């Protein structure tokens, strides 16, 4: 029994953190500017300055905070808090909404493509939710088994 708890405690955060780190090595978003040029934004830029996306109505960057909080909570030996995986995934889904973006020169543009880095990051925000669903399913099976075993 201890092995299962340890496995469930370390594997999901390791997968999420691994996906998040892997996402840093690939382009994240293709931004088409109003000047007609398009450029790929790397994840290092988004990680460093993503919190400023709130000014443009983008909240996806804050999924990173929920993801880190969930990983620290699980690696620290505590049970998963329900609202952290839900928040991480909901904020991650907000990154799917196309929106306007401004570059350093103040030229407006829009997201016209998403690269592998974005999808790896999005998968990293889905891991906590998958862990929550699987752990709830396994615990309900365990309770069901105990219920009929005692009869």
Picking from 114-118, 121-125, 138-142, which range would have the lowest pLDDT averaged per residue?
138-142
Write out 58-72 in H/E/C secondary structure: CCHHHHHHHHHHHHH
What mean pLDDT do residues 66-73 have? Answer: 85
- The answer to whether position 100 is within a domain reads yes
Q: Which residue has the higher pLDDT, 119 or 47?
A: 119
What mean pLDDT do residues 16-28 have? Answer: 87
Tokens 């999808």 belong to: 119
- The answer to whether position 64 is within a domain reads yes
- The answer to whether position 148 is within a domain reads no
- In terms of DSSP bridges, do strands 38-42 and 100-102 run parallel, antiparallel, or are they unpaired? unpaired
- The answer to whether position 13 is within a domain reads yes
Cα 29 to Cα 8: distance, rounded to the nearest angstrom? 32
Q: What is the pLDDT of residue 40?
A: 75
- The answer to whether position 81 is within a domain reads yes
Provide the domain limits for residue 38.
Answer: 2-139
- The answer to whether position 149 is within a domain reads no
2 has pLDDT over 60: no
The number of distinct structural domains making up the chain is 1
- The answer to whether position 22 is within a domain reads yes
- The answer to whether position 90 is within a domain reads yes
Q: What is the pTM of this model?
A: 0.77
């Amino acid at each position: 029994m201890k092995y299962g708890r340890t496995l469930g405690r370390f594997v999901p955060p390791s997968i999420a953190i691994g996906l998040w780190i892997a996402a840093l090595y690939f382009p994240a978003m293709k931004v088409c500017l109003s000047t007609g040029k398009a450029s790929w934004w790397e994840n290092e830029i988004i990680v460093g300055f993503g919190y400023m996306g709130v000014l443009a109505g983008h909240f996806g960057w804050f999924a990173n905070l929920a993801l880190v909080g969930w990983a620290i909570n699980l690696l620290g030996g505590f049970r998963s808090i329900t609202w952290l995986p839900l928040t991480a995934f909901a904020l991650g889904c907000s990154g799917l909404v196309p929106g306007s973006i401004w570059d350093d020169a103040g030229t407006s543009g829009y997201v016209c493509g998403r690269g592998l880095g974005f999808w790896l990051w999005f998968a990293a925000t889905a891991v906590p939710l998958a862990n929550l669903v699987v752990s709830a399913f396994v615990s309900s099976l365990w309770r069901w088994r105990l219920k009929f075993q005692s009869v």
